[in-house]
Amino acid sequence: MVKHILSNAPGSTIFLGCRDLDAGRRVAKELLEEGTVIPVYLDVTSSESVSAAAEAVCAEVPHLDLLCNNAGILHESFSVDSARQTMHTNFEGPILVTTAFLPMMKDGASILFTSSGMGARTLGLLSAEHRDALMSPALKLPELHSLLNQVVEELGRNTAHKYHAIPTVDYGISKMGVNLYTQMLARQYPTLFVNAVSPGFTNTGMCANYTGPRVPKEVSLGASVFTKVIFSELGHGHTGTFFKEDSKPGTPLDQAKSIIDSWVQ
């Protein structure tokens, strides 16, 4: 994604949040001729790390034009512990990062959340009672936290709960939370462009241990939707919107297709 952004906005400065600074430095060195990439240590599960990263970036630039939340983990089977870890990284982490960097976002800046169609499908598979409560325009962040935690705890207590039939349910709940937070933030900050983006099942580190039948997309293909949302007409003027990369694995980049999708599927 960094390479895509630099190719469309040469000369840009990108702060690359990374848990492995050495790996971040290697990426920065590889892209030296295309723009400025500054690695910043960032662990989205640590409030101290997030605060330090925000301070480091603030010391370098007065404002940000774009904030992209991209951290994520996936467990193939459900347990309460794995669900809590997934929520901590995939849902609470982006909220922590966004809250820390919001003071640096000038009017007209963009915030992107990496999400998944699993979040939209999970919302569609919930009971009408849960879905109505979560989709209420009056919903506030503490209530969102409470409702999602309640669902996770119910799943832990009841192994026969119907939500266990939802594929990778803890991942789906975490990404559903991201989607709902995206809409909430878009309503709260009308001078910003706040959207969620799904690259689809992409061959990143998150699926490194995946052994199932699905074929992941090439990283460049999955990342292409971010470029289109940031730089093309697809994302122009939109806020509170869910975008997804809609191509099959192996699709040439010049034939890649990205679309606006529904929050509930």
What torsion, rounded to 10 degrees, do the Cα atoms 222, 225, 231, 237 define?
Answer: -160
In sequence order, the β-bridge partners of residue 13 are: 36
**Integer Cα distance of 121 and 110 in angstroms:** 25
Match 């007209």 to its residue by tokens: 108
Q: Does residue 219 surpass a pLDDT of 90?
A: no
Rounded average pLDDT over 19-43 = 91
Domain boundaries 42-261, corresponding CATH code = 3.40.50.720
Q: CA-based diameter of the chain, in Å?
A: 56
What's the token pair of residue 89?
């990284």
DSSP per residue, 140-154: -HHHHHHHHHHHHHH
How does pLDDT run across 110-139, given as a tens digit for each residue? Answer: 999 999 999 999 999 999 999 999 999 999
Q: What is the pLDDT of residues 170-183, one digit of tens each?
A: 999 999 999 999 99
pLDDT average, residue stretch 58-63 = 95
Contact 100, 51 (CB under 8 A): yes
* pLDDT tens-digit readout, 141-167: 999 999 999 999 999 999 999 999 999
What are the two backbone dihedrals, phi and then psi, of residue 237, each rounded to the nearest 5 degrees? 80, 0
The CA distance from 265 to 164, in Å, is 18
User: Per-residue DSSP letters for 21-55?
Assistant: HHHHHHHHHHTTTT-EEEEEE--TT-HHHHHHHHH
Q: How many Cβ atoms are within 10 Å of 197's Cβ, its own excluded?
A: 28
pTM of the complete model: 0.94
The amino acid at 5: I
